[in-house]
Amino acid sequence: MTRQRWSSRTVFVLAAIGSAVGLGNVWRFPYLAGKYGGGAFLIPYLTALLLVGMPLLMLEFAIGQKTQQGVAGAFKRLHPSFQGFGLAAILTGFMIIAYYAVVMAWTLIYFFNAFRLSWSDNAEQYFFDSVLHLSDGVGQIGRINLPILLALAAVWAIIYFCVWRGVQSEGKVVLYSVPLPIILLGVLLVRAITLPGFLAGWRLYLTPIWSILADPEVWSAAFSQIFFTLSLAMGIMVAYTSYKAPDNDIARDTWATALTNSAISLFSGFVVFGVLGYMAWRTTTPITELAASGPGLAFVVFPQALSLMPLPGLFSALFFLMLLSLGIDSAFSLVEAVNTVLIDRYPHWRIERVSIWICLTGLILGIIYTTQAGLYFLDITDHFVTHYNLMLIAIAQSVLGGWVYGAESLRRYINTVSDWRIGPWWSISVKFIAPISLTALLAAQFITDIRTPYEGYPAWMLGIGWSLVLISMGIMVGPLLSRQRHRKIQ
């Protein structure tokens, strides 16, 4: 059977950008910049992008394109002992997509309530009480929220229709889903700069607080943000590039994806901070407090700010439409990563069927996040999976590509197919800088989590988080150990 192909290189780059640009750019990045010293945060952020993000993205691009396999098959081809890491990447991706789709379901609910501005009286109460029905503690799971469940089913139905024909249908969707949110961001930027107070927001965004650079936490936040935003270590980029011909350009596509993604983050910083500046001007809340509101930024502070401006319904609808269109191509890229692994393994399976099962499984796994304690479960999963699973897989990936297979031989391959030449710095990054810096970050995070239980959650809840890490680790090292036992017996 011949492998599916993207209809053109532009479509591939759009799809890669679509996966990278998501809620992480518009909500997570500005919030981190606000929390960690405005302009100064850009320094660790750009350092992480150039030192680790870009090289590892290029590594994933090279592995996928060279092996023409999804992540499990690709890792296995590079070295059989590493197959488990590929499977763990898929499993981790699944854990993420299950809650990512729920965040999209909230967005859908907000979108339908935008013209009514249901949150205008009290945005916080609206989010936590009316939408989430959040219980008092994680011990009280309560009931399933039917509206969220229905919205979740709708989100999964949309995802299904994007992926059901593999890269053929995805290639068509990204022609709209990638430019649309960028245009909407542009509209919102124009709105922001015509509001009083926006400059104060920009000042906070761009004025560096240098002292913050001495804090290791800032560096850790910047590195994990780069990981999340470039959709690394989930098998996505490997799957996507496996649908390019083996002699396609790699270097230019990597730069195009990584730089466009970060440019959109920086751009959305101007939108978010501009609007927050306006809100600080209208209310008396200090802007630093608004900027550091964390997960509430997109669902509490920003909607409230939108409801204060002229034509609030319209701009709220545009904002949530932007979030939806931003998220959808990130969400379906993860489903494609799983699809690819299954179809590689069982080539006679029909992609329409496989996608249905994946989407249904995702929907079922997501039910836990639609309960009244859903936000707590989401928070725990997100914390452990992004800080441990992604890091472990990325370290394994750089060891596999850099040492076991050989960075130099991959670099030769990249240079043979690419117009732009990649220097030896790439091998140095993949072999040394990436694994060392990621291991240091992982160790630092581990120490922090052991010292102070994350967000003060009860032990059983933290146990759930740690078991997600342990399950993935089991899958990672399982094939490795069984191969060794096998060898000893022989």
Residues in contact with ligand PHE by CB under 6 A are 19-20, 22-25, 96, 100, 228-229, 231, 330, 333-334
Q: Which is nearer to ligand PHE, 18 or 277 (CB)?
A: 18
Q: Which is nearer to ligand PHE, 83 or 229 (CB)?
A: 229
Using alpha carbons, select from 23, 353, 436 the residue that is nearest to residue 163. 353
How far the first Cα of the chain sits from its last, in Å, is: 36
How far is 442 from 454, CA to CA, in rounded Å?
A: 15
Instruction: Give the single-character DSSP code of 370.
Output: G
Using alpha carbons, select from 316, 325, 290 the residue that is nearest to residue 204. 290
> In whole angstroms, how far apart are CA 108 and each of 134, 136, 214, 377, 420?
18, 25, 40, 20, 42
Q: Which is nearer to ligand PHE, 17 or 309 (CB)?
A: 17
For residue 85 the two structure tokens come to: 């890491």
* Least Cβ distance, residue 292 to ligand PHE (angstroms): 19
Using alpha carbons, select from 115, 279, 130 the residue that is nearest to residue 204. 279
Using alpha carbons, select from 429, 440, 425 the residue that is nearest to residue 401. 429
What's the full length of the chain, in residues? 490
Q: What's the sign of the alpha-carbon dihedral 8, 51, 404, 228?
A: negative
* Least Cβ distance, residue 450 to ligand PHE (angstroms): 27
* Least Cβ distance, residue 223 to ligand PHE (angstroms): 14
Q: Which is nearer to ligand PHE, 229 or 340 (CB)?
A: 229
Residue labelled with tokens 């927050």: 276
* Beta carbons of 311 and 327 less than 8 angstroms apart: no
Q: Which is nearer to ligand PHE, 46 or 200 (CB)?
A: 46
Q: Which residues pair with 222 in a beta bridge?
A: none
Using alpha carbons, select from 314, 283, 325, 313 the residue that is nearest to residue 301. 283
* Least Cβ distance, residue 121 to ligand PHE (angstroms): 30
For residue 198 the two structure tokens come to: 């926006």
* Least Cβ distance, residue 333 to ligand PHE (angstroms): 6
* Least Cβ distance, residue 326 to ligand PHE (angstroms): 7
Q: Which is nearer to ligand PHE, 229 or 472 (CB)?
A: 229
* Least Cβ distance, residue 485 to ligand PHE (angstroms): 35
How far is 323 from 187, CA to CA, in rounded Å?
A: 14
Reduced to 3 states (helix: H, G, I; strand: E, B; else coil), residue 208 is strand
Q: Which is nearer to ligand PHE, 20 or 300 (CB)?
A: 20
Q: Which is nearer to ligand PHE, 152 or 309 (CB)?
A: 152
* Least Cβ distance, residue 392 to ligand PHE (angstroms): 17
* Least Cβ distance, residue 467 to ligand PHE (angstroms): 21
* Least Cβ distance, residue 234 to ligand PHE (angstroms): 6
Instruction: Give the single-character DSSP code of 347.
Output: T
Q: Which is nearer to ligand PHE, 55 or 181 (CB)?
A: 181
Q: Which is nearer to ligand PHE, 52 or 399 (CB)?
A: 52
* Least Cβ distance, residue 346 to ligand PHE (angstroms): 24
Using alpha carbons, select from 94, 119, 83 the residue that is nearest to residue 319. 119
Q: With residue 373 as reference, give the H or E element that holds it.
A: none
Q: Which is nearer to ligand PHE, 63 or 236 (CB)?
A: 236
* Beta carbons of 231 and 20 less than 8 angstroms apart: yes
Reduced to 3 states (helix: H, G, I; strand: E, B; else coil), residue 419 is coil
Rounded to 5°, angle at Cα 45 from 424 and 253: 50
